[in-house]
Structure 1
Amino acid sequence: MSVVGIDFGAQSTKVGVARNKGIDIITNEVSNRSTPSLVGFSARSRQIGEGAKTQETSNLKNTVGSLKRLIGRSFSDPDVQLEQEYNSAAICDVNGQAGVEVSYLGKKEKFTATQLVAMYLTKIKDITSKELRLPVSDVTVSVPAWFSDVQRRAMIDAGDIAGLNVLRLVNDTTATALGYGITKLDLPGPEEKPRRVIFVDIGYSDYTATIVEFRKGELNVKATACDRHFGGRNFDKALTEHFADEFKEKFKIDIRTHPKAWSRSVAAAEKLKKVLSANPQAPMSIESLMEDTDVRLMVKREELETMVKPLLERVTLPIEQALAEAKLKVDDIDHIEMVGGCTRVPAIKDAITKFFGKNLSFTLNQDEAIARGCAFACATLSPVFRVRDFAVHDIVNYPIEFTWEQSPEIPDEDTSLTVFSRGNVMPSTKILTFYRKQPFDLEARYANPDMLPGKVNPWIGRFSVKGVKADANDDFMICKLKARLNLHGILNVESGYYVEDMEVEEPVPEEGEKKDGDAMDTDANGEGQPKKTRKVKKQVRKGDLPIATGTGGTDQAVKDTWHERETAMYMEDKLVAETDEKKNELEGSIYELRDKIDGVYSEFASDDEKEKLRAKLSATEDWLYEEGEDTTKSVYVAKMDDIRFIAGPIIQRYKEKVDAERQAVLKAEEEAAAKKRAEIEAKKKAEEEAKKAEEAANKPAEGDAEMKDAPAEGETAQGETEEKQ
């Protein structure tokens, strides 16, 4: 079972996986650690990710970006209209949802943003499973904190269509905070002052500031503030607008009228922005931009900062808003963690440093922090991995209220209630109580629509409570409804039931009574005394109430249809890829055999065989570049088999000789090695024998030693004689 966290970004996506006792960011098919968030369409197939990026400039009208910013939105939303500025593909209305119209397989087709995200997630799933060599199912996916209920439901739906089980939608900065806190071993204890960190995340299209309090084993989000239209692409656009004016004045070309020239200028502006983050000035050069005109400019960092001055004036606003909501001052913040590619811009760093009056912290990987946090979030929900216990308490960003029709029997009844206030901990469950004699409906909606992104419909869902009736005495039925804001930040009325007020007996605690677990009280004779009881009124659950739910999510039947369509398109893409692979294999074989038949294969083929093979190769090549330019996989395979039928015997002879030569070389190497081992053994043996002979020659004889140490026999006798005289 795999553990996968997906940082679904507006420009690119990173995937973190739990393995090797840590989190790895995986690479895609071209070994990049991030995959462009693009979906492209052509007359033959789809190109997703790197493939879409490669052909983006040549296929602008059929390449779609801004996937994250379109999902769950209506076409009439002003934010959706704004995305047309960053997309050459035509954004349109698809059954009330934002979608695109593109040319696919030679005809015009419309796809909703939910379908587009599902296509992209299918590609991410494919990349991940190939890297892990495991099937991928359970994932966590990051979303902006400003996503509404309908946008979150659409993300879950897209995951379902892609065959993914989304365990949790986690807010971008909350994922970053989890990745930061779960690895820290020095967090304060429960009774100590918490460590307060503000995470400033400025990415490609939006900006989020989140204040988080850390204690050992938990994080609590205190406040989140967002600017949905502040990011790297806004800097790119400002630069491109500047280029457009310069080009018109200096080179007499208007890139605003030429989509491809505009697209190439945006790409050049992005590269220039990155260079200017590290250098005071940089050149910008594009060859044959438009009307065979080459353009070149030199741009200084100060000029860029002047172009984006209106943006820079908004840098500290989300931070100020977050501090105000958390009721904290600048001095209360212990660390300022910067993440997101746009936080590399010097002017942004300077403005935030000046605001806090302290150094910024860059301990996290600015590009991959969210993906790592998502992988940690997935690991904590997985039964396969053991992860340090770490509780995540996120907050509600938009207040949610319930409204209902007034009961005829209760004329002064309130008809609305804010159930989840802004800043409430999430996930969260609330029990709503109603007194009714007949079935009733209630609706959930956002209490303050002005806070929502763009013009998102504040309506969340309608819930019809069935099975309600008066009791035998024509009294109200007491109805209890369980409303839950779940891990994803999605609202549901999960269940309903009714209760009755009943008298029940419960024990009366006596003064000095021993606690549970102590020995039973006894009287003087050691016998147990009966406990005193009292009758109290309590609400006792008597039965369930069915609830019919209508929400902003996609109908199951529609989802099933989209899933079937996605599966069919995926198989078609796979077949096209395999067909191209066989075509390339055939083309490569033609050139390889033509070269080798007069080279390494020459001595293994007769003149007749050579002539037949050359003729076959020439005929196949002519076919390949004419009617064989676009055909089926099976035809390419058949053509390859025809060539192998002629070339096979020649190649076999060559391989047999190569194998024989290899065996001969191996045998010679083995004989040489054996000979060398024998020589080494002989030399070693000779050395040992010589050493033994030398030791024997240097050792004195046993008799010589005795004569040298003892006096001569005659001398001893003479000495004894003299002593006796």
Structure 2
Amino acid sequence: MAAIGVHFGYTCACVAIFKDGRADVVANDAGDRVTPAVVAYRDTEQIVGIAAKQGRVRNAANTVVKVKQVLGRSYDDPETQNHRTETKCQVVDKQQKPYYEITVGEYPQYVSPEDVAKLILHKMKETAQSALGSDVTDAVITVPFEFAQAQKRALRDAAEAAGFNVLRLIHEPAAALLAYNIGQDSSSGKSHVLVYKLGGTSLSVTVLQVNGGIFRVLSTHTDHSIGGESFTQALAQHLAAEFKRTFKYDVSENARAMMKLMNGADMAKHSLSSLGSANCFVDSLHDGMDFECNVSRARFELLCSSLFNKSIQPIRPLLEKAGLSTSSINKVVLCGGSARIPRLQQMIRELFVDVELLSSAPTDEVIAVGAALQAGLLVGRESLAPEEESVTVDVSAIDLLVKEVDESGAEMFTVLLPSGTPLPARKHHTMTGAGKLSSVCLEIYQGCVMEHPEKLAKIILRDLQPSEENHNIDAVVTMKRDGSVHVSCVEQSTGRSEAITIAAAS
């Protein structure tokens, strides 16, 4: 029985195969075990991976990066708007959805984020199948803990369009634990594990309780303002300052030159994780002038000292939120490419003095390995019951809201279950509707009030008797451990009731 595990990240993707009882990461056709999640559009073809990333200097307007940021989001979503301002590829609004405007050939083409993700996932599938030598399509794909239903759905759709049979989506922290076989020994009793992930564009820290084979999320924190690219940016700014000092010319406002410096800084940063110094060479940086600069690891650590502090700052507050201290943690699992930076590992070790720090597997591969192991467990089973999820969602990852209309006719949102609420949770909410109405509508949303929350469900109480007094509606919202939501509402005077269940995306 063979199966595939895929970690589809913001900046990179990685694929592992499960075969003969073990999971191994597979190198792509360029010989790399991690593939940049970058797609370049040319006249007759689409290029995925390192060639697309390196060619971005010449073809930035038709190169899509960080597609995971907008996957499953509406055009108005603040994340989409952030993505629009950051990317060199034009993002346009088509039926309230973001599309990339690609200008190759005579006419512009409009490409959806799902189509871009499909190409990256197809590359992962080809990579896995060439290693297996057979047409295996069963796969487990990882998702961030904070992904909303629409984002999970979009990723699943893209994977299926790429030819995968998606056995399950599992959360990234759970995959990291599976890769180290944590919780698979049911006699080990209760323990606490911190999963620290520093990827290309985001930091996420999750505290889990492990009891037998059950993972329970106690608290989680995600910060999209820091990631590996922040470190690359700091190094590129230093290189630009060195160029200015040597050649008396400022390239920091030149987008093409800065992209070249970012590529050079990225390679130097990777080298500095294993070497004491790295040479950075950029061909024809400005006016035909080549640029060469040697950077020591000590210099890099000095340049990024505030970023290192920012990277570990969320750990203590997160533990406090879960009612734990650093000494309560039994293991720390490192994942994400930037978690291999030696200075960062040293700072985490200093924080968790006597705790086992698990980093023996390459940090940018560990999540894919866990996904492949989960795929191996699932592929032999006849039925895939959603209750057999390997991670139990024991806090809500996202705010749950109700939308109603006040007396002036203005829409207002009320947070029923804020993110971080221990599950299962139950909340009563009473809403009023004008007595003259014959029907009252209740809408349930998830997300942040300030950032265009996503509508999950709508309940309409019909055939109400018009009266002099307002209609009083009692609503009860229950969220189960698996993230599913049950909503029931009753009109007090008549007893008319409606109920709905919103399934968790598996």
Would the aligned equivalents of 1:209 and 1:225 in 2 still touch at CA under 8 Å?
Answer: yes
Corresponding position of 1:369: 366
Instruction: State whether structure 2 residue 222 is matched by structure 1 residue 226.
Output: yes
Could you tell me which residue of structure 2 aligns to residue 41 of structure 1? 41
Aligned to 1:89: 89
Query: Would the aligned equivalents of 2:184 and 2:213 in 1 still touch at CA under 8 Å?
Result: no
Provide the C-alpha distance between the structure 2 equivalents of 1:52 and 1:38, rounded to a whole number of angstroms.
6
Q: CA deviation at 1:63?
A: 1.2
Distance, in Å, in 2 between the alignment partners of 1:94 and 1:242 is: 40
* Cα shift at 1:370: 0.6
Q: TM-score, normalized by length of structure 2?
A: 0.80
1:30 corresponding residue in structure 2: 30
Q: Give TM-score, length-normalised by structure 1.
A: 0.58
Distance 2:363 2:489 in 1: 48
Q: CA deviation at 1:186?
A: 7.4
Q: Establish whether residue 306 from structure 1 lines up as the match of residue 305 from structure 2.
A: no
- Residue aligning to 1:328: 324
Contact 1:340/1:366 (<8 A) preserved:
yes
CA distance in 2, matches of 1:422, 1:391: 20
| 1:271-319 alpha-carbon deviations (Å, 9 max, x no partner) | 2112223333333222323322121122233322232233122122221
Q: Which residue of 2 aligns with 1:206?
A: 202
User: Amino acid of the residue matched to residue 65 of structure 2?
Assistant: G
Residues 358, 241 of structure 1: CA spacing in aligned structure 2 closer, same or farther, 3 A cutoff? Answer: same
| Amino acid in structure 1 at the alignment position of 2:416 | T
Query: Where does residue 141 of structure 2 map in the other structure?
Result: 141
1:464 to 459, 482, 504: 459
Q: CA–CA distance in 2 between the matches of 1:243 and 1:401?
A: 47
Q: d(CA) in 2 for partners of 1:78 and 1:429?
A: 28
The one-character-per-residue Cα deviations of 1:187-215 (angstroms, maximum 9, x if unpaired) are: 523xxxx2211111111111111112222
Q: Does structure 1 retain, via aligned residues, the 8 Å contact 2:205–2:221?
A: yes
Aligned residue in 1 for 2:468:
none
Alpha-carbon distance in 2 for matches of 1:118, 1:48: 11
Change (3 A) 1:337 1:548: closer
Given that 2:429 and 2:474 are in contact with CA atoms closer than 8 Å, whether structure 1 keeps it comes out as: yes
Give how far 1:348 is off: 1.4
State the 1:355 CA deviation: 2.3
CA distance in 2, matches of 1:7, 1:151: 15
Question: What corresponds to 1:349 in structure 2?
Answer: 345
Decide whether the 8 Å contact of 2:183 with 2:214 is kept in 1.
no
Check conservation: 2:77, 2:451, Cα contact below 8 A: yes
Matches within 5 A, 1:550-565: none
Higher relative contact order (CA 8 A, sep 6+): 2
- Taking structure 1 as reference, are residues 91 and 486 closer, same or farther at Cα in structure 2, changes over 3 Å only? farther
> What do residues 383-418 of structure 1 show as CA deviations (whole Å, max 9, x unaligned)?
44899x884212322231335579xxxxxxxx9672
Instruction: From the superposition, tell whether residues 420 and 153 of structure 1 become closer, same or farther in structure 2 (CA, over 3 Å).
Output: farther
Match of 2:420 in 1: 422
- Once the two structures are superposed, the pairs formed by residues 239-638 of structure 1 within 5 Å of their partners are 239-358=235-354, 360-384=357-381, 391-394=390-393, 395-403=395-403, 418=416, 422-425=420-423, 440-446=440-446, 449=449, 456-465=451-460
The one-letter code matched in structure 2 to 1:422 is G
CA distance in 1, matches of 2:321, 2:158: 33
Residues 1:99 and 2:103 aligned together: no
Question: Does 2:21 match 1:21?
Answer: yes
Structure 2: distance between partners of 1:497 and 1:88: 48
RMSD: 4.1
Alpha-carbon distance between aligned partners in 2 of 1:24 and 1:362, rounded to the nearest angstrom: 16
Letter in 1 for 2:391: V
Give 1:236 shift: 0.4
Structure 1 residue 326: deviation in Å? 0.7
Superposed CA offset, 1:621-647 (max 9, x none): xxxxxxxxxxxxxxxxxxxxxxxxxxx
Deviations 1:442-468 (A, max 9, x none): 21124754xxxxx63124334134777
Q: Is the 8 A contact 2:183 2:213 kept in 1?
A: no
Quick one: distance in 1 between partners of 2:475 and 2:203?
A: 40
Q: 2:138–2:164: 8 Å Cα contact kept in structure 1? A: yes
Contact 1:433 1:479 in 2 (8 A): yes
> Counterpart in 1 of 2:409?
none
- Taking a change above 3 Å as real, the CA distance of residues 151 and 184 of structure 1, as seen in their structure-2 partners, is closer
SS in structure 2 opposite 1:107?
A: coil
Q: Give CA deviations for 1:599-642 in whole Å, capped at 9, x if unaligned.
A: xxxxxxxxxxxxxxxxxxxxxxxxxxxxxxxxxxxxxxxxxxxx
Q: Which moved more, 1:210-219 or 1:301-310?
A: 301-310
Paired AA for residue 373 in structure 2? F
Whole-angstrom CA distance in 1 between matches of 2:176 and 2:380: 22
Q: Which amino acid aligns with 1:220?
A: R
Give how far 1:320 is off.
Answer: 1.6
Larger Rg over CA atoms: 1
Unaligned runs of 5+ in 2: 407-412, 466-470, 491-496
The structure whose residues are more often helix, as a share, is 1
Report the alpha carbon displacement of residue 228 of structure 1 after superposing the two structures with TM.
1.5
Using the TM superposition, give the Cα deviation of residue 28 of structure 1 relative to its aligned residue in structure 2, in angstroms.
2.5
The share of aligned pairs that are identical, in percent, is 24
Q: Kindly state the Cα deviation for residue 327 of structure 1 after the two structures are TM-superposed.
A: 0.8
Whole-angstrom CA distance in 2 between matches of 1:401 and 1:203: 30
Report if the CA contact (8 A) 2:15-2:25 is conserved.
yes
